[in-house]
């Protein structure tokens, strides 16, 4: 209906249609000094970053770092307290979520939000009927079947939204978002709670979506998965950006390790490595008394750290 | 009317309104139930106190305790038998259920107690303190004190006792509370019973200070809702703040000639809709009971 | 559609089968509704005036429930003050007639006024959710009734007596009966259209999960306003017809045109039949109003108690409505073929589970 005016047919206007992120292209999404406060407490604090068309940007951070708030700010469920959010060259911070969906931003929810009274297929049809495309009924049904096939939910198309397992709910979240034909896909912990096999499937799916020219922003807790899927990783801690770099660089960054695993482990790592990082980590570790020893016993980056 | 008299009237009616809303606020805050039968429970409490006074010749203040006990039992049974069966259902289901209860109770009250206006005419009624030009009805002052006392007692009970903590825990996260070994069905029944008992106390105060009849029930449910919307669902003190605010609105609108009589409901709703639109969580409100 | 369904998976066709089942159900619902109304259309042939006025009331309540179904059943918004549109429609006709205007003008003005009122009212209150929306709508209806009474609109206390139409009594009543019936048919067709439209899908999505609906590109707020206006229109028309049929109006109190009892009936009837279904409100309206009218005659003193008990029983034991109950008892889950007895016993189990799942 109202989406008629904003329905471009090309999948990626400013960026290259293939999967290689173009470092020189104008960013598809840019945040400039964005802050979101809840009753005085900043959940996202003076955050700036840009996403290039066609790239997969991973966002990690410990619990309460502001990851889901960030997704809400970009998707439109939350309004920033201050700052500018630009999408495809246009300021979007004042647009309601449905307008952003028409422009090609799709999101999933950390806690799956299926339409519980509808079956899986109808859930996905809603995405195709509205979203960026705004299809008619028959085409929407066809798109829904294609998308369900893609996320391996075809055999559960008849089940109701509340009859699904956790993994299938996450798949349904992905399917619904995909059915809107997004240019920018925001994935909020779609891999949390999945088995290693399912995580591998999800990683493969995200790669395939990205190969089709969709820019993806992946918020995750699972390090290994996000490392495998992201072109770059941004780390949030207490709502602030503490690192933004290539995956290997970020995961070796003492600040990041400290934020995730506590100070004692950070110092251990730093001591092992010696070199320049040592002074930075110990300098910050002024109060080792309440270091997170539980986390320190898990030296590998695996599993959800929550 | 001197301003000081308006002030006194406001404090007295405001505290009474707080009592009207206290139980309603508890039930809503903990169980997310808007109890449309609240007003009819309140009226039942008024009848208990009324008959305790007229038939048993008991002191009206003992009537308050009797009304609380009787309504506690009624409330427990209602929650245990009926509302617990639909507690997870969509909002309209509990809404309709409590409306059905209201209809049933109001009509039964009308059948057994008739539609006559009643009031307790105790020896205290009509006894006033006069301070210069200001008239202070003693019975209303005592009722107002009891209202504040009940608010404080509920607040302490929730904060300091094991049972009160269990009620709060269930209100915050039902499933987590269940895992902690709290019996949800019983805690809900207790919460509703407490809400009903508080409604009974307010009803007894109503019988002492004003006239009442069964069809007044709907009006008090409405008042309770407006008061909670004004004060917010935060704490028992929210009901007191809301009661005082609502008392202010009615006292002022009653003394403004242009609005005139017969429009109390309209004023209540005008206030309500304004608050809802401007401050959807109430004037002082937090998201839930804590 | 079926040709596009992927064929590798043995169960892959189920999606298309679901669509076929749904469109079959849609057709059956529509036909059932038309058949019910056609059967009711025969009532005047009996020549019984009491039956005629009974069924006029029943059909009127069906229209009210059908109107409520748009906002309450499809969009899932707990509107508890839809009687306000009924009252506006009735008052518009009364005031037009009192001022010497024609009946049709009153109907038109009332419908327009109610639609506009729903729109303007929706702008603030449809931002509210849950209980707050329910009570805000309830309150506006109560307040408007009180205002009409206090400002003595149409007469002292807002009470109005109208001159009957210049027609034979029996003919006039028959015309009013068919007027309500035509309105009910129109609303039925409107509901059937809605159920298959994008508008309807959007409303159901809003009901099932508003945040997700918005994120998928549905302008939820405007669709809700649309549903609210849509529910106001038949309700106001029914109010206008009622005013000229009943001739004496009061704003508040039992039977008053702003009485909350109408709102309650709308909700109860829609719930009993099945909220968000095509014929549910029609069936619920017939059952409840027939029971109410006959019990009022038989047990006048205690019909309030009976109605209260009925509401309690329906909400506890039939929260999903009769239509969905029938579906659960007859349809196999997920396209698996079962014998009728198995379907029924499985259905009973599902219904028991459903009722139990509402409790703790």
- If asked whether residues C207 and C328 sit together in one domain, one would say no
Per-residue pLDDT tens over the stretch A187-245: 999 988 888 888 888 999 999 999 999 999 999 877 778 888 999 999 998 899 998 99
With respect to residue C124, please indicate whether it lies within any of the assigned structural domains: yes
Q: Is A155 on the interface with C (CB under 8 A)?
A: yes
The better pLDDT of the pair C242, C23 is held by C242
pLDDT value at residue A305:
33
Q: Which of A286-300, B239-253, C51-65, C171-185 has the lowest mean pLDDT?
A: A286-300
Among A75-79, A220-224, B104-108, C311-315, the least confident range:
A220-224
> Which residue reads 């239509």 in tokens?
C323
Quick: pLDDT tens for B79-88.
999 999 999 8
CA C173 vs. chain centroid, Å, equals 23
Report if residue C4 sits inside a domain. Answer: no
Cα–Cα distance, B150 to B153 (Å, whole number)? 5
Q: Encode pLDDT of B180-192 as tens digits.
A: 899 999 999 999 9
Q: Domain of residue C347: give its range.
A: 320-354
Question: Cβ contact (<8 Å) for C4 and A148?
Answer: no
Residue with tokens 């080792």: A288
Return the pLDDT at B206.
Answer: 94
Say yes or no: C330 and C308 in one domain.
no
With tokens 């349904």, the residue in question is A172
Q: Are residues C121 and C267 in the same domain?
A: yes
* Contact with chain A for residue C12, Cβ under 8 A: yes
pLDDT beyond 70 at C186: yes
- Helices C103-125 and C83-98: crossing angle, nearest 10°? 150
Of B86, B104, B222, the CB nearest to C359: B86
pLDDT at position A2, please?
Answer: 39
* Whether residue C195 sits in one domain with residue C138: yes
Closest chain C CA to residue B103: C308
What pLDDT does C344 receive?
84
Do residues B86 and C316 make contact, with C-beta atoms less than 8 angstroms apart? yes
Q: Label residues C87-120 b or e (16+ Cβ within 10 Å = b).
A: bbbbbbbbbbbeeeeebeebbbbbbebbbebbee
pLDDT of residue C129 exceeding 70, the answer is: yes
Predicted pLDDT at A154: 92
Tell me the percentage of chain B whose pLDDT exceeds 90: 51
| Predicted confidence band of residue C22 (pLDDT cuts 50, 70, 90) | confident
- The residue with greater pLDDT, A236 or B288, is A236
Per the model's pLDDT, the better-predicted residue between C139 and C71 turns out to be: C71
The two tokens of residue A205 are 């799916």
pLDDT category at C10 given cuts 50, 70, 90 is very low
Q: Mean pLDDT, to the nearest integer, of C197-218? A: 95
Strand partners, A51: A29
Q: Is residue C312 part of a domain?
A: yes
Q: Does A109 contact C334 at a Cβ distance shorter than 8 Å?
A: no
**Is-contact B219 B106, C-beta < 8 A?**
no
Q: Specify whether the CB–CB gap between B260 and C150 falls below 8 A.
A: yes
Are C296 and C335 in a shared domain? no
Say whether C131 and B34 touch across the interface (CB within 8 A): yes
Q: Does A117 touch chain C (CB under 8 A)?
A: yes
Is C313 domain-assigned? yes
Q: Which is higher by pLDDT, C255 or A71?
A: A71
Nearest-by-CA chain A residue for C199 = A1
Q: For chain B, report the end-to-end CA distance as a whole number of angstroms.
A: 40
Q: Evaluate whether A293 touches A267 at the Cβ level (below 8 Å).
A: no
**B269 → chain C, closest CA residue:** C139
Residue B270, chain C, CB below 8 Å: the answer is: yes
CA-CA-CA-CA torsion sign (A256, A262, A264, A268):
negative
* Cβ atoms of A134 and A1 closer than 8 Å: yes
Contact C114, C234 (CB under 8 A): no
Give the pLDDT score at A22.
58
pLDDT at C145 over 60: yes
* Residue C300 distance to chain B (closest CA, Å): 12
- Look over chain C and give the mean of its residue pLDDT values, rounded to a whole number: 88
Confidence at B254, pLDDT banded by 50, 70, 90? low
Contact call for A115 and C208, based on CB within 8 A? yes
C252, C264, C175, C226: which is closest to C70 by C-alpha? Answer: C226
Helix (H) or strand (E) holding C264: helix C260-273
Residues C342 and C229 in one domain: no
| Average pLDDT, integer, range B239-249 | 89
The pLDDT value recorded for residue C8 is 36
pLDDT of residue B205 exceeding 80: yes
Instruction: Judge: C308–B105 Cβ closer than 8 Å, yes or no.
Output: yes
Return residues 25-84 of A near C (CB < 8 Å): 75-77
Domain ranges for chain B, please list them. Answer: 3-215
Could you give the ipTM of this predicted complex?
0.87
Q: Cβ C15–A117 below 8 Å, yes or no?
A: no
Coil vs helix vs strand at A240: strand
How many domains in chain C?
2
Could you say which residues of chain A have pLDDT below 50? 1-19, 276-306
Instruction: Clarify whether residues C264 and C340 are in a common domain.
Output: no
CA-closest candidate to residue A250, choices A47, A19, A24, A61 = A61
Residue bearing tokens 């909220």: C275
Range with the poorest average pLDDT among C238-242, C322-326, C333-337: C333-337
Mean pLDDT score across all residues of chain B: 87
> Does pTM surpass 0.90?
no
pLDDT, residue C350, reads: 82
Are C167 and C267 contained in the same domain? yes
Query: Could you report the per-residue pLDDT of B38-77, keeping only the tens digit for each?
Result: 999 999 999 999 999 999 999 888 999 999 999 999 999 9
Show Cβ contacts of residue A182 under 8 Å, excluding neighbours closer than 6 positions.
A104, A105, A106, A131, A132, A214
pLDDT value, residue A192: 85
Using the predicted structure, report yes or no on whether residue C335 has a pLDDT greater than 50.
yes
* CB-based contact A129 C201, cutoff 8 Å: yes
Question: Quick one: C160 and C127 in the same domain?
Answer: yes
CA C164/CA C162 separation, integer angstroms: 6
Closest residue on chain C to B225 (Cα): C135
Q: Is the pLDDT of residue C2 over 60?
A: no
Fold of A25-104+182-247: Rossmann fold (3.40.50)
Residues C210 and C308 in one domain: yes
* Distance in angstroms between the alpha carbons of the first and the last residue of chain C: 42
Q: Do C239 and C324 fall into the same domain? A: no
Of A27, A29, A38, A28, nearest to A68 by C-alpha is A38
Q: Is C200 within a domain? A: yes
SS3 label, residue A235: strand
What band does B282 get if pLDDT is binned at 50, 70 and 90? Answer: low
Kindly list the domain boundaries of chain A, sorted by start residue: 25-104+182-247, 114-181, 253-296
Mean pLDDT of the B170-185 span: 90
Backbone angles phi, psi at A85, to 5 degrees: -115, 120
**Sign (positive or negative) of CA dihedral A44, A50, A56, A58:** negative
Mean pLDDT of C202-230: 96
First to last CA, chain A: 42
Residues C297 and C325 placed together within one structural domain of the fold: no
For residue C4, name the pLDDT band (cuts at 50, 70, 90): very low
Chain B residues 207-266 within an 8 A CB cutoff of chain C: 218, 222, 225, 229, 260, 262-263, 265-266
Nearest CA in chain A to C335: A158
Coil vs helix vs strand at C319: coil
CA distance C59 to C186: 12
Say how far apart CA B18 and CA B225 lie, in whole Å: 11
Nearest to C217 among A3, A125, A142 (CB): A3
């Amino acid at each position: 209906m109202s989406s008629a005016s904003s329905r471009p047919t090309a999948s990626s206007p400013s960026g290259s249609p293939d999967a290689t992120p173009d470092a020189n292209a104008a960013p598809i999404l840019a945040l400039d000094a964005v802050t979101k406060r809840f009753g005085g407490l900043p959940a996202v604090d003076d955050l700036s970053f840009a996403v290039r068309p066609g790239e997969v940007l991973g966002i990690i951070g410990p619990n309460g770092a502001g990851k889901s708030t960030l997704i809400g700010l970009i998707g439109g469920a939350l309004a920033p307290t201050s700052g500018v959010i630009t999408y495809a060259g246009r300021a979007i911070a004042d647009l309601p979520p449905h307008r952003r969906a028409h422009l090609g931003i799709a999101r999933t929810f950390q806690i799956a939000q299926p339409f519980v009274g509808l079956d899986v297929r109808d859930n996905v049809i809603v995405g195709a009927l509205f979203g960026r495309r705004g299809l008619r009924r028959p085409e929407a049904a066809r798109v829904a079947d294609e998308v369900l096939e893609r996320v391996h939910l075809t055999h559960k198309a008849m089940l109701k939204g509340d009859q699904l397992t956790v993994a299938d709910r996450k798949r349904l979240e992905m399917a619904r978002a995909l059915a809107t034909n997004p240019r920018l896909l925001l994935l909020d912990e779609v891999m949390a709670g999945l088995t290693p096999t399912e995580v591998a499937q999800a990683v493969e799916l995200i790669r395939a979506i990205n190969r089709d020219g969709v820019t993806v922003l992946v918020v995750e807790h699972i390090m290994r998965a996000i490392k495998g899927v992201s072109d770059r990783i941004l780390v949030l801690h207490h709502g602030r950006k503490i690192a933004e770099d290539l995956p290997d660089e970020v995961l070796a960054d003492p600040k990041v390790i400290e934020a995730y695993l506590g100070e004692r482990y950070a110092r251990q790592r730093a001591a092992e490595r010696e070199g320049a990082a040592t002074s930075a980590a110990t300098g910050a570790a002024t109060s080792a008394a309440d270091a997170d020893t539980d986390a320190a016993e898990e030296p590998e980056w695996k599993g959800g750290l929550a | 009317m001197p301003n000081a008299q308006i002030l006194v009237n406001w404090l007295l009616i405001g505290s009474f309104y707080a009592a009207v809303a206290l139980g309603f606020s508890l039930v809503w805050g903990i169980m997310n139930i808007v109890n449309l039968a609240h007003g009819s429970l309140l009226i039942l409490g008024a009848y208990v106190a009324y008959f305790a006074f007229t038939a048993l010749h008991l002191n009206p203040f003992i009537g308050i305790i009797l009304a609380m006990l009787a309504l506690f039992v009624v409330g427990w049974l209602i929650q245990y038998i009926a509302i617990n069966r639909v507690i997870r259902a969509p909002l309209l289901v509990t809404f309709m259920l409590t409306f059905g209860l209201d209809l049933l109770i109001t009509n039964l009250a009308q059948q057994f107690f008739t539609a006559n206006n009643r009031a307790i005419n105790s020896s205290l009624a009509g006894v006033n303190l006069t301070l210069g030009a200001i008239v202070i009805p003693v019975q209303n002052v005592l009722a107002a004190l009891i209202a504040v006392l009940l608010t404080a007692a509920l607040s302490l009970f929730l904060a300091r006792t094991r049972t009160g903590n269990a009620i709060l825990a269930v209100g915050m996260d039902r499933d987590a509370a269940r895992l902690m070994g709290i019996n949800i069905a019983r805690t809900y029944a207790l919460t509703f019973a407490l809400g009903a008992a508080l409604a009974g106390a307010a009803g007894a105060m109503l019988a002492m200070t004003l006239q009442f009849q069964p069809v007044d029930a709907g009006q008090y449910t409405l008042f309770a809702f407006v008061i909670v919307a004004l004060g917010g669902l935060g704490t028992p003190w929210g009901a007191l703040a809301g009661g005082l605010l609502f008392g202010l609105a009615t006292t002022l609108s009653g003394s403004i000639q242009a609005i005139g009589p017969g429009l109390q409901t309209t004023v209540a709703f005008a206030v309500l809709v304004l608050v809802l639109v401007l401050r959807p969580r109430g004037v002082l409100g937090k998201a839930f009971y804590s | 559609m079926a040709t596009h369904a992927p064929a590798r998976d043995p169960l892959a066709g189920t999606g298309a089968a679901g669509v076929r089942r749904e469109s079959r159900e849609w057709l059956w619902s529509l036909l059932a509704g038309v058949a019910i109304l056609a059967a009711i259309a025969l009532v005047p042939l009996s020549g019984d005036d009491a039956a005629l006025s009974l069924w006029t009331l029943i059909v009127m309540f069906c229209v009210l429930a059908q109107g409520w179904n748009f906002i309450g059943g499809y969009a899932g918004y707990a509107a508890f003050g839809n009687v306000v549109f009924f009252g506006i429609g009735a008052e518009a006709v009364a005031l037009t007639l009192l001022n010497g205007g024609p009946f049709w003008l009153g109907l038109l003005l009332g419908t327009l006024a109610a639609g506009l009122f729903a729109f303007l009212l929706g702008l603030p209150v449809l931002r509210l959710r849950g209980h707050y929306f329910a009570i805000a709508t309830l309150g506006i209806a109560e307040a408007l009734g009180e205002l009409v009474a206090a400002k003595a609109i149409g007469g002292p206390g807002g009470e109005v007596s109208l001159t009957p139409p210049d027609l034979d009594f029996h003919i006039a009543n028959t015309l009013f009966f068919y007027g309500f019936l035509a309105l009910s048919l129109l609303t039925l067709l409107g509901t059937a259209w809605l159920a298959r439209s994008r508008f309807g899908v959007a409303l159901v999505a809003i009901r099932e999960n508003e945040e997700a609906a918005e994120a998928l590109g549905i302008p939820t707020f405007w669709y809700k306003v649309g549903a609210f206006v849509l529910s106001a229109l038949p309700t106001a028309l029914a109010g206008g017809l009622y005013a000229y049929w009943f001739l004496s109006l009061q704003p508040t109190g039992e039977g008053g045109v702003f009485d909350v009892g109408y709102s309650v009936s709308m909700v109860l009837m829609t719930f009993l039949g099945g909220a968000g279904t095509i014929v549910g409100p029609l069936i619920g309206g017939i059952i409840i109003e027939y029971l109410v009218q006959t019990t009022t005659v038989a047990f006048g003193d205690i019909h309030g108690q009976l109605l209260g008990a009925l509401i309690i029983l329906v909400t506890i034991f039939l929260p999903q409505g009769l239509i969905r109950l029938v579906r659960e008892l007859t349809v196999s889950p997920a396209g698996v073929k079962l014998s009728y007895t198995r379907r029924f016993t499985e259905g009973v189990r599902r219904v028991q589970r459903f009722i139990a799942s509402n409790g703790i």
